[in-house]
């Protein structure tokens, strides 16, 4: 992809993260101390379990370097604003979901460069030499994640009524942006995406289903209530695909790494919809 596309992707993600900031307050971060067990379990699932599952999938399926690195890049990313919306629809604990998204978005700024560096060294071949500039990636993550979220939170604090009015439109715009990003990726990679589609589909499905399932099971094993378990399940299994696509394009300068995140970003709605419909059909209230 050219530099113009990279700039458009970065701006798109900044808008999405600004929108997420509009829905956050300092209370969402303070909730770490109010519900420590749930937050710790959720973060362990996202920061530790998710990359481990991604690595297991990449190695057990003997994926090509491009697809394996895409899987690891995606598994390194936090949940996005979409996970909060899906948690609400699935009648999970929305406060826990928002707090996990907020905290994980900050923590993964530092863990993403490490995981991506490991993935490049582990899976890339001599013909696919990629240099991960960790300090530069860290700065990029600050610009496209931390700064817009902080500005969004400041706007909500200073202009709460405006933030409340803008929250829904920004979420709609974010969904539209993601769809356009996926379409753009598909068009730009039309010469290779068909050959990668069969290989990338299975790991994308496995990553989504396995992480959501294990997140739920761990939450139940640690005696969290059903609403908290649903939140952790969705936060673990619904990743910020737009962030992964942006990093593949800008930080790694290889749009082919974004194939898995793009496919995953579409497939994740299927599993989330199943959870939402099952919760509603059962008339779940807690």
Torsion angle, CA of 68/70/72/74, rounded to 10 degrees? -150
According to the model, what pLDDT value does residue 49 have? 93
Q: Could you tell me the pLDDT band of residue 131, with boundaries at 50, 70 and 90?
A: low
Please give the residue range of the domain that contains residue 99: 3-278
Q: Could you tell me the pLDDT band of residue 60, with boundaries at 50, 70 and 90?
A: very high
- Indicate whether 141 belongs to any domain: yes
* Tokens describing residue 160: 């709460």
If one compares 245 and 72, the residue with the highest pLDDT of the two is: 72
CA-atom Rg of the chain in angstroms: 18
Q: What whole-number distance in Å separates Cα of residue 201 and Cα of residue 86? A: 22
Residue 116 has pLDDT above 80, yes or no: yes
According to the model, what pLDDT value does residue 283 have? 52
Q: Could you tell me the pLDDT band of residue 185, with boundaries at 50, 70 and 90?
A: low
Kindly report the backbone phi and psi dihedral angles of residue 239, in degrees, each rounded to the nearest multiple of 5, phi listed first.
Answer: -100, 160
According to the model, what pLDDT value does residue 108 have? 86
- By the 8 A CB rule, do 55 and 70 touch? no
Residue 19 has pLDDT above 70, yes or no: yes
- Total domains in the chain come to 1
According to the model, what pLDDT value does residue 47 have? 92
Instruction: Average the pLDDT over 78-91 and give the result.
Output: 78
3-state helix, strand, coil in the chain (%, to 5): 85, 0, 15
Q: What whole-number distance in Å separates Cα of residue 66 and Cα of residue 127? A: 11
Q: What whole-number distance in Å separates Cα of residue 34 and Cα of residue 168? A: 28
Instruction: Average the pLDDT over 224-252 and give the result.
Output: 85
Instruction: Average the pLDDT over 204-228 and give the result.
Output: 91
Residue 57 has pLDDT above 90, yes or no: yes
Q: Could you tell me the pLDDT band of residue 50, with boundaries at 50, 70 and 90?
A: very high
Q: What whole-number distance in Å separates Cα of residue 253 and Cα of residue 246? A: 9
Q: Could you tell me the pLDDT band of residue 286, with boundaries at 50, 70 and 90?
A: low
According to the model, what pLDDT value does residue 132 have? 64
According to the model, what pLDDT value does residue 99 have? 84
- Indicate whether 69 belongs to any domain: yes
Instruction: Average the pLDDT over 158-166 and give the result.
Output: 83
- Indicate whether 283 belongs to any domain: no
- Indicate whether 284 belongs to any domain: no
Q: What whole-number distance in Å separates Cα of residue 192 and Cα of residue 211? A: 28
- By the 8 A CB rule, do 248 and 231 touch? no
Q: What whole-number distance in Å separates Cα of residue 43 and Cα of residue 168? A: 27
- Indicate whether 177 belongs to any domain: yes
Cβ neighbours of residue 115 closer than 8 Å, sequence gap 6 or more: 51, 72, 73, 75, 76
By residue count, the chain amounts to 286
Q: What whole-number distance in Å separates Cα of residue 273 and Cα of residue 275? A: 5
- Indicate whether 21 belongs to any domain: yes
- Indicate whether 286 belongs to any domain: no
- Indicate whether 223 belongs to any domain: yes
If one compares 192 and 86, the residue with the highest pLDDT of the two is: 86
Work out the percent of the chain whose per-residue pLDDT is above 70.
83
Q: Summarize pLDDT for 245-269 with one digit per residue, the tens.
A: 888 888 787 778 888 887 887 777 6
CATH number of the domain enclosing 19: 1.20.1530.20
Helix H, strand E, coil C: the string for 9-52 is HHHHHHHHHHHHHHCCCHHHHHHHHHCHHHHHHHHHHHHHHHHH
Work out the percent of the chain whose per-residue pLDDT is above 90.
18
Instruction: Average the pLDDT over 208-217 and give the result.
Output: 91
């Amino acid at each position: 992809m050219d530099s113009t596309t990279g700039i458009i992707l970065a701006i798109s993600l900044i808008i999405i993260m600004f929108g997420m900031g509009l829905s956050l307050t300092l209370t969402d971060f303070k909730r770490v101390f109010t519900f420590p067990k749930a937050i710790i379990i959720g973060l362990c699932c996202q920061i530790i379990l998710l990359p481990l599952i991604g690595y297991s999938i990449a190695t057990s399926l003997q994926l090509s370097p491009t697809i394996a690195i895409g899987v690891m890049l995606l598994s390194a990313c936090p949940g996005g604003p979409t996970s909060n919306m899906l948690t609400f629809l699935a009648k999970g604990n929305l406060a826990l979901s928002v707090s996990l998204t907020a905290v994980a978005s900050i923590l993964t700024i530092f863990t993403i460069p490490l995981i991506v560096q490991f993935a490049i060294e582990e899976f890339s071949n001599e013909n696919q030499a990629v240099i991960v500039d960790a300090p530069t990636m860290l700065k990029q993550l600050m610009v496209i994640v931390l700064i817009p979220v902080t500005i969004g939170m400041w706007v909500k604090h200073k202009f709460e009524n405006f933030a409340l009015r803008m929250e829904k439109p920004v979420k709609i715009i974010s969904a539209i942006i993601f769809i356009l990003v996926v379409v753009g990726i598909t068009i730009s990679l039309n010469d290779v995406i068909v050959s990668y589609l069969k290989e990338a589909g299975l790991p994308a499905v496995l990553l989504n289903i396995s992480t959501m399932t294990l997140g739920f099971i761990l939450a139940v094993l640690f005696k969290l209530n059903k609403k908290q378990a649903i939140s952790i399940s969705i936060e673990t299994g619904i990743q910020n695909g737009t962030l992964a696509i942006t990093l593949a394009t800008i930080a790694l300068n290889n749009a082919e790494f974004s194939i898995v995140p793009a496919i995953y970003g579409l497939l994740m709605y299927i599993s989330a919809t199943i959870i939402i419909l099952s919760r509603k059909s059962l008339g779940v209230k807690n």
